[in-house]
Amino acid sequence: MNKFYTETLYKLETEINDLEIEADHSIQRIEAVIGIILKCLSEVKKYVLNRGFKNIGEEIHFFKYQKPTIVSKLIYSPDRNNVIAIQDQTLAQAYKIEFEEMWGSNTLTPNTTLSKFGPYKTDNTPHNFVIGGKVVNAYFSPSDGVTAKIVNVINSANTDIEIADMLITRDDTRDALINKYNTGLSTINAVFDSQNPSGNDFAALQSTIGTSKVVKYTGAGILHHKFMLVDNFNAGSDPQVLTGSHNWSSSAETRNDENTLVIHHKIVTDQYFQAFAYLYIFAGGVLNASDFAISNYEILLYPNPTDGIAFFKTNSLMNNAYGNYIIYNAIGSKMMEKQFRNLGNTQIDLTAYPKGLYFINLTVAGKVYQAKIIKK
């Protein structure tokens, strides 16, 4: 029974993962996954009826542990995903236009004759919005050439790139990352799901950027994110997060109906970084102190992430500087404020505070710096 169960579960999970990559539409994926699970349960039932159980212990183990594991895939998925809610009428209108193109109508009744999906859709929505004073870009696949937009975001990076993505099989996206690294952008950190689809570019990225910088997530479920952060550590640049449903694959680029947002907002980027840091460190990635450099790299915090105590690392000209620092939590609440007379000997004590991401405003000789630190 154990051998049959192990082989059956492996086959089931493989088929579900393959569908995630290949199926065109979310509803189709869900329906197909349900069909696969029901077929699997039918095969298990047939096997049990034909073979029976060796003893009462095997029977109890089957009904208590093995069968529920398969059934649970119908009602629960531990996959890693993200959602963002943006309250804006103009952006909502763009999504409405996209929906009605697939619905085939602007009424409550769909028109299957006029409805368009996949490569039959057109680029018919606005893409640039200003929401709360911040720029937001919206794109839909496959009509809007989203892979080129992803490459543009990569090319816009000045100091750092962080990626949490299910997969990467597009060579143009891979090449953009490698070119960025080879031309001097050393802070590129990425975590991908552990699956190995055809054309997977994970190994190429890892061999160029480094095994401790490009890692695989091996936790429960699928790492189903598709987000990238650019210049998260550089408030003076254009911190942005790219997120949505668009896999970095040719299926998403040419066939699937997907959506992508690029949000130019430091606070939103910071919030996504918290999710990234958790997954990245869990997967064995290494975030060095240099990854948390302040924009002009005159001051660093170390160790970062920290267990509670951290220090300022500066150049020799600033070691004896005086000033003050203010620490805020991830939602902007002020946690502490302290003055110092010797920056080189100053420590930050977060031992009394919960785990998470903190922001530091540091004032030295009348100049203000900003930094981030993670308490693990």
Q: Which amino acid is at 286?
A: V
Distances from the Cα of 18 to the Cα of 41, 275, 276, 375, angstroms = 19, 25, 24, 37
Average pLDDT, integer, range 230-253:
91
> Which of residues 164 and 34 earns the better pLDDT score?
164
Look at residue 254 and tell me whether its pLDDT is greater than 90: yes
What gap in Å lies between CA 196 and CA 194, rounded to an integer?
7
Average pLDDT, integer, range 217-242:
88
Q: Which amino acid is at 329?
A: N
- Model confidence at 297, pLDDT cuts 50, 70, 90, reads very low
The pLDDT value recorded for residue 117 is 95
Average pLDDT, integer, range 208-223:
90
Look at residue 220 and tell me whether its pLDDT is greater than 70: yes
Q: Which amino acid is at 1?
A: M
> Which of 301, 321, 307 lies closest to 352, judged by CA?
307
Average pLDDT, integer, range 37-65:
84
Partners of 241 in the beta sheet? Answer: 229, 263
The pLDDT value recorded for residue 314 is 67
Within a 10 A sphere around the Cβ of 43, how many other Cβ atoms?
14
Sheet containing strand 214-217, strands side by side: 128-131, 134-141, 258-263, 240-244, 226-230, 161-165, 188-193, 214-217
The pLDDT value recorded for residue 294 is 41
Look at residue 316 and tell me whether its pLDDT is greater than 50: yes
> Which of residues 202 and 218 earns the better pLDDT score?
202
The pLDDT value recorded for residue 293 is 44
- pLDDT, the chain, mean: 86
Within a 10 A sphere around the Cβ of 81, how many other Cβ atoms?
13
Sign of CA dihedral 100, 103, 107, 108: negative
Look at residue 290 and tell me whether its pLDDT is greater than 70: no
The pLDDT value recorded for residue 196 is 83
- The helix/strand/coil state of 186 is coil
User: Please, is 247 exposed, middle or buried when counting C-beta atoms within 10 Å of its C-beta (0-12, 13-18, 19+)?
Assistant: buried
Q: Which amino acid is at 347?
A: Q
> Which of residues 17 and 307 earns the better pLDDT score?
307
Q: Which domains does the chain have, with CATH numbers?
A: 2-74 (no CATH), 89-287 (3.30.870.10), 291-375 (2.60.40.3080)
The pLDDT value recorded for residue 77 is 60
Partners of 370 in the beta sheet? Answer: 361
Question: Which of 126-130, 309-313, 330-334 tops mean pLDDT?
Answer: 126-130
The pLDDT value recorded for residue 26 is 56
Q: Are 201 and 269 in contact (CB under 8 A)?
A: no
Please, where are the H alpha helices in 52-196?
A: 56-61, 67-71, 89-103, 146-155, 171-182
Average pLDDT, integer, range 160-176:
95
Look at residue 355 and tell me whether its pLDDT is greater than 70: yes
Sign of CA dihedral 94, 97, 102, 107: positive
Q: Are 25 and 142 in contact (CB under 8 A)?
A: no
Within a 10 A sphere around the Cβ of 298, how many other Cβ atoms?
15
> Which of 124, 125, 135, 141 lies closest to 26, judged by CA?
141
Look at residue 57 and tell me whether its pLDDT is greater than 70: yes
For the chain, give the percent of residues with pLDDT over 70: 90
Distances from the Cα of 270 to the Cα of 160, 281, 359, angstroms = 13, 16, 9
Look at residue 242 and tell me whether its pLDDT is greater than 80: yes
